Structure formats: C-alpha cells, structure tokens
Amino acid sequence: DAGVIQSPRHEVTEMGQEVTLRCKPISGHNSLFWYRQTMMRGLELLIYFNNNVPIDDSGMPEDRFSAKMPNASFSTLKIQPSEPRDSAVYFCASSLRRQGASYEQYFGPGTRLTVT
C-alpha cells in the first residue's frame, strides 16, 4: 500500500499567486481530511469529506481557500490568492468510516508551502 500521497512536497510561490495542493487517499478509504500545521497554531483541521462530499469546512480560514474532491481517489486544496501568512505544512489524511466504529486516520507526508 502506497499510503496517502501528496504533491508537491515543497512549494515556494509569490504572494498573490494561486497554489494548488493535491492528495491521493488510500484506496478504499471513504473519508478525507485536510490539515494545516504552523508553529503558532499547531495542527488544525481545515475540512473533511465523506464519500467525496464536504461535511465540515468550518476550519477553512477564509474564502481564499477552497477544497474539492471530484472522485474517491483525488482531492485538491486551492489557495487563491496566496499570502505570506498561508505559509505552513499542509497535510492530507484519509480513513475508512464504518458505522458505529472508531477508526484511525492515515496522514500523508505533507506539502511545505512557502509564500514570499
């Protein structure tokens, strides 16, 4: 199993540019999560999907951020326009949701985003 795959691993961009982060969840998983990690705020949940449908996006910081999951094997997190305060490590995680059961999340290696 390849695990959760994220790309790119590193992204450096200038303020105002559009940034797209990509995630491929583990095959067979039906829930997908996007997190952001900074020194100041730690690990924050941005959004999560179940069966490709966004369930809770209350963690998305503002309208500049958007996330999509067009199918079970692919998700994107887009920032447009990007700002220096968006610099962080962005993690994608996936899991298998089963009714009434507790289950673990598997995280990808992360994308380190630097906005100058």
Partner 1 sequence: DAKTTQPPSMDCAEGRAANLPCNHSTISGNEYVYWYRQIHSQGPQYIIHGLKNNETNEMASLIITEDRKSSTLILPHATLRDTAVYYCIVRVAFSNDYKLSFGAGTTVTVRA
Nearest residue to 22 via CA among 60, 78, 61, 65: 78
Kindly state the helix (H) or strand (E) to which residue 23 belongs, with its residue range.
strand 19-24
Q: Which range, of 60-68, 71-79, 80-88, 95-103, touches partner 1 by CB under 8 A?
A: 95-103
What is d(CA 6, CA 22) in angstroms, rounded to the nearest whole number? Answer: 6
Q: Is 10 in the site for partner 1 (CB under 8 A)?
A: no
User: Token pair of 84, please?
Assistant: 């220096």
Pick the binder of partner 1 from 26, 65, 79, 110 (CB under 8 A): 110
Of the pair 17, 38, the CB lying nearest partner 1 is at 38
Site for partner 1 in 33-62 (CB under 8 A): 42-43, 45, 48, 50, 55-56
Nearest residue to 95 via CA among 85, 103, 87: 103
Residues within the interface to partner 1 (CB under 8 A): 4, 31, 42-43, 45, 48, 50, 55-56, 91, 93, 97, 99-100, 102, 104-110
